[in-house]
Amino acid sequence: MAMTYAGSCAVLLSGGIDSAVVAHALRSQGWDIAALFVDYGQPAREAERTASTRVAAHYDLPWQEVGLTGMSVPQSGEIPGRNDMLIALARATLPGRSIAVGIHGGTEYADCSPAWTTAWQQLIDAQSGGVARILAPLLHRRKDEIISHARYSQVPIHLTHSCERANDPCGQCLSCQDWERARVGAK
């Protein structure tokens, strides 16, 4: 299949299903992708790092990591400014590239909203002269749509890690439940 070159981007590859779907989608659109993993002290960082490297290898993406120390990270729930931090780190680490994030619909978090995406695009436009973009292909997709899409597109769900609480999946948190539904295809 002939592919059109879409540009270069950094995908914030957390090791979870959402960012794997983003990498899959952008790759099929012809983006030149560099994967970036950020260790900011999140509870499941070891398992997330392993999953991120495996997903990157599956799609043959160059992978790198940035570490940030000193943040106090709650076990679950919203972390104010988390996605702002991730985008800023990606901008500084892989300058000139568009930045792709796996934020999706159906969440109340302020940094997962269309208004937030638009605001970041304006900030980046002011610095890059309109060259770089914020790519949020799942922005208007609900989690169940993403899971269906992941299964249909043969995104390697088995390589991902989605427990937000622990390296060994707790089986209880919302992310674990989503992951299990994605894996077995149950409704």
The residue ranges that bind Zn ion (CB under 5 A) are 163, 165, 170, 173, 176
The DSSP bridge partners found for residue 100 are 11, 135
CA 49 to each of CA 70, 120, 167: distance values in angstroms, whole numbers, following the listed order: 18, 26, 10
**In terms of CB distance, is 28 or 107 closer to Zn ion?**
107
- Which among 4, 27, 23 is positioned nearest to 15, based on CA atoms? 23
Least separation in angstroms between CB 64 and Zn ion: 26
CB 56 within 8 A of CB 64: no
Least separation in angstroms between CB 62 and Zn ion: 29
Least separation in angstroms between CB 163 and Zn ion: 3
Least separation in angstroms between CB 155 and Zn ion: 19
What is the C-alpha to C-alpha distance for residues 40 and 17, in angstroms, rounded to an integer?
19
The secondary structure of 31-56 as a DSSP string is: EEEEEEEEESS-TTHHHHHHHHHHHH
CB 175 within 8 A of CB 139: no
Residue with tokens 């900030």: 123
**In terms of CB distance, is 121 or 167 closer to Zn ion?**
167
Least separation in angstroms between CB 42 and Zn ion: 12
CB 51 within 8 A of CB 84: no
